[in-house]
Structure 1
């Protein structure tokens, strides 16, 4: 099956994509393009899937670089292919021929590019990482390589939308403690529950950091099981595990 890849005009002509679950070698609850070796999927199937993603970007599997994601605000600089994954949630590089990748299944995958400076970045931005500053850390890392955040484009890929992201009052408290104006990213849900706008919050943080352009592809991972894996949906359906979607950009 042909891969289904979502692209963004702001990142063109760089080779990039928010890969959906279609076109992979995995089966069962992982059916499709599960690219997460941290899942309980067969290692061989995940390796095949990652190779297909690398091929689509025009790089070898060794040049498709990722990190050991831990919901942090840490960004790491990539200088060569075959780098062993470090604990971080964002990557930046100025080396041509490398593809930076992150995995997500409801969290925000964010791809960055400063076309003029020749610097790219990728971030895995869940609620905790976004609140702690992973997007700003990515911009800082890119600037250390010569980028200008005012010339940088960031695109948030498929992630969970507000209508499907129900949270408790203690979750709201964390955001209000950070900044009272964060209340605008919450809507009333059922009972004492709230609905959190993760991509709206991500766009706010990017724009407040001075980025030149920030957009969201407006795809909800929870709402479309045919195209996307979703951690929250798999939990609600009591599945044993869930696939991870890969998003990547190549310089």
Structure 2
């Protein structure tokens, strides 16, 4: 019965005073009401209820809410997002190595070249590279998108899994200079060909002290499919090989919507 009396008083207060409140307005108000007592066996037929606002408490609560929302936004901002809309679908992907003579040639003979920020150690067999081969229009669009993202920062491989079929992947990731992460390839983790390619990739990156490259090539439907010639290579990026832990993604899982979550 006490709860019913309190609710009735609050209802009357809000009905009479609601227009006095706003998004940043919480005035100090006090009202008293005579409320019928719902217990008919009681000698008291009515009771007086005073309803008052507490602006200071309301302000403290608003500050707590604002701080919580700011922390949530900061957490969401810091959380890395993996996108899969940069590399054209059905591109031909491969891991390989460019002899140093080829590296020198591409530096001066491609449509777009992003040079390394320091001199690369050339004592190894060559520069480890990811080759993305697609059509010329899509290659040009890929180059433009990377330019709009302020360039390419690095290349990384990160573990992924599909728990529905108990499958594990080695995910190839490009990090652009605007901080975004882009999926460029999903490789079966225990595929012998990829396992061998990854071993060579890691060894070659050690030899170059962490430097690698990205080659964008045309000619996916021609005779040079899978083996682009110099004339097919339209862009060459010299970037860092990034450790997976640096991205902070952990193991990515393929969910029902066919997207990657972490």
TM-score, L = length of structure 2: 0.22
TM-score, L = length of structure 1: 0.23
**Structure that is richer in strand per residue:** 2
Q: Which has the larger radius of gyration?
A: 2
- More contact order relative to length (CA 8 Å, sep ≥ 6): 1
